[in-house]
Structure 1
């Protein structure tokens, strides 16, 4: 496919290449954008305004969005607070437990070395405050075993934080099985579900104490997400706020509620758009079949992965240079968008114990089939094969 520029309906000039980086972010569907525009320009009231119909309509919209989103993970509406995204949700879940951990003497936390920086960095902050954090390494599969977590449990273990789907490899972690086991203990479970929400939904209906959700990974605008905080019977997770002012969202996330973003996160068009798994699997097989003409390895356990994320390393190829050579065909990444400016080896692939030349040069392909209509797997594989031949 030839790289070219095209003018969209709003007059913006955009590159017409196959977009294979949905693990970083997704396009907002025009129908979803229309919902946002409606709540910005027509029903624009403040959900905290109780004296007129504008405010009441906004309040009802927020409640309907809350009820729907909570229902998707088998939770109650009162269990869900809205946030600006999974990063904020992670911070509230992790840092919000610190005071309780300090008061109770439970300062031990278990996590994995392959978590997103939005989990690792808050935990490093807690470590500086005297908490003991175990960072488990998964091995070449990229999957943390349930047994590995349970073996590290102690009477003073406050929390286990384990991601649902790894953002670089697409490997699914055993969070549902772990939730069942941890419910028998006093240890809380937090799951960063930024990559798994609305995609591997059944897992998140397990009795997980806290679930972080991101909107822009599933076609909603950037800047919206949620934190689900389930009770254990009558007992609440003892979170303390990390911000103050206004008392909104059960006093855990103060600030004026951005009603347009909540409307987008729960609108019908968005719900329908993410259900593309059969097509995602077909596209994965087509890509792997085409790549068979190249020399590559898959990074991570292919039997426990979501169908729309594939991490591969190509023999003898520097990933950054390869991306430049492929930019006329596909938009891809080497890993998390939050660390894409770094040229150091992927911390995820390194924690899996992969050789440095592999960990440094992993390429992540991620897609929604509806966003990759222009993708030509055969042409991509041909180009890569030619580049590899040049290096011989």
Structure 2
């Protein structure tokens, strides 16, 4: 890849921070013990490291150490949270679930599986703002509602959902709240300290390696969320997630979370400055923002350019910037975005939405003015 290409696709994945890479390497080559080995010092050091990581990451969301389990990422965490509650729903006759039509496929597809098993799932649509209102969720709430699953930050538009407000209301009911926080963890930290029952975390969105994440399973007083495992083969991770713990990856997530927590205020300011630079530069083009910019994270911007095909634009810009049409799981198909379609946007807008997402320190040489110039030259004359 050309070294001058600016990477503006951090919503898909981030570069591993050099400090994180050093930590991962150390736990691969020096302190390489199995955290489950109890008979020697290598295992003891690994176990101690994992405990410290668990304690810190749980604390970042206001949870207790024992309320966090490590997983391979947010997709696995989502599956454990959603499918793991199914048996309880069947036993209690609570088979109703509320979610949104703008969720990541890692939530939609497990819920479609539950729908096939007899669960009733309401997929709420947000309207053009891209934001599900608390009131629209509560209007659908019933006595047999087992779960509300609502993402923290939308991966395509960057719009922040009202998960903290919902948590404070649902905590007074028997309905559990699950939040896919893959995009929001670390970036909007206070929201996740609300009394959310289940939180899915992804490491590779904050500079950790791919293949590690976590699931917070928060107690309600003395009561545990009645999850059952969906995989079997060992007692690791509170008997909810079997398998040898990937200690190097966990320690990488630990280090990345520390770095992000330390630098979050600076990161947010710089991300907002980059957003303003980009929007100012794009002022010479004809575009509109998809989603409510007043309730969005500072580092994700979804736009559609009048008269331009997204696929052609990505190809034209490939030597300047790395960008995407939306979710990395579906963008290769160039079909209309299910998120933008659910917002009620026209099909040509939903097909041609482009997502810019950045970490300021990783695009220091990026010049949005040059990018805007290229786009402006491609646009047809306004009619």
Whether TM exceeds 0.5 here: the answer is: yes
Residue aligning to 2:151: 163
135, 142, 150: which is aligned to 2:138? 150
Per-residue Cα deviation, 1:321-359 (whole angstroms, up to 9, x for no partner): 000011111000000001122121000000000011101
| Aligned partner of residue 155 in structure 1, secondary structure | coil
Q: State the alpha-carbon separation in 1 of the partners of residues 264 and 294 from structure 2.
A: 21
Query: What is the aligned partner in structure 1 of residue 236 from structure 2?
Result: 248
1:87 equivalent among 72, 75, 95 = 75
Cα distance in structure 2, aligned partners of 1:187 and 1:44: 42
Residue in 2 aligned with 1:118?
106
The one of 254, 258, 271 aligned to 1:266: 254
Q: After TM superposition, what 4+ stretches of structure 1 lie above 6 angstroms from structure 2?
A: none
Q: TM-score, normalised by structure 1?
A: 0.95
Secondary structure in 2 aligned to 1:341? helix
Are the counterparts in 2 of residues 170 and 305 from structure 1 also a CA contact under 8 Å? yes
Structure 1 residue 74 and structure 2 residue 62: aligned?
yes
Q: 1:75: Cα distance to partner?
A: 0.3
Q: Mean alpha-carbon deviation: is it higher for 348-357 or for 263-272?
A: 263-272
Shift of 1:16: 2.8
Matches within 5 A, 1:223-242: 223-242=211-230
Report deviation, 1:272.
Answer: 3.9
**Which structure 2 residues correspond to residues 1-392 of structure 1 after superposition, within 5 A?**
5=2, 15-267=3-255, 268-269=258-259, 271-272=261-262, 276-389=267-380
Distance in 2 (alpha carbons) for counterparts of 1:299 and 1:340: 17
**Number of residue pairs the alignment of both structures matches:** 380
Query: So what's the TM-score if we normalise by structure 2?
Result: 0.97
Alpha-carbon deviations, 1:75-134, whole Å to 9, x = none? 000000000000000000000000000010000000000000000000000000000000
CA contact (8 A) 1:91 1:118 kept: yes
Deviations 1:276-334 (A, max 9, x none): 01000000001001101000000000000000000000000110100001111100000
In 1: Cα distance, 2:176 partner to 2:48 partner: 32
- SS of equivalent residue, structure 2 residue 238: helix
Query: How far apart, CA to CA, are the structure 2 residues paired with 1:358 and 1:135?
Result: 22
**Structure 2 contact 289–303 (Cα < 8 Å) conserved:** yes
What are structure 1's unaligned runs of at least 5 residues?
A: 6-14
CA distance in 2 between counterparts of 1:171 and 1:180 reads 20
- RMSD (Å), alpha carbons: 1.2
1:203 counterpart SS class: helix
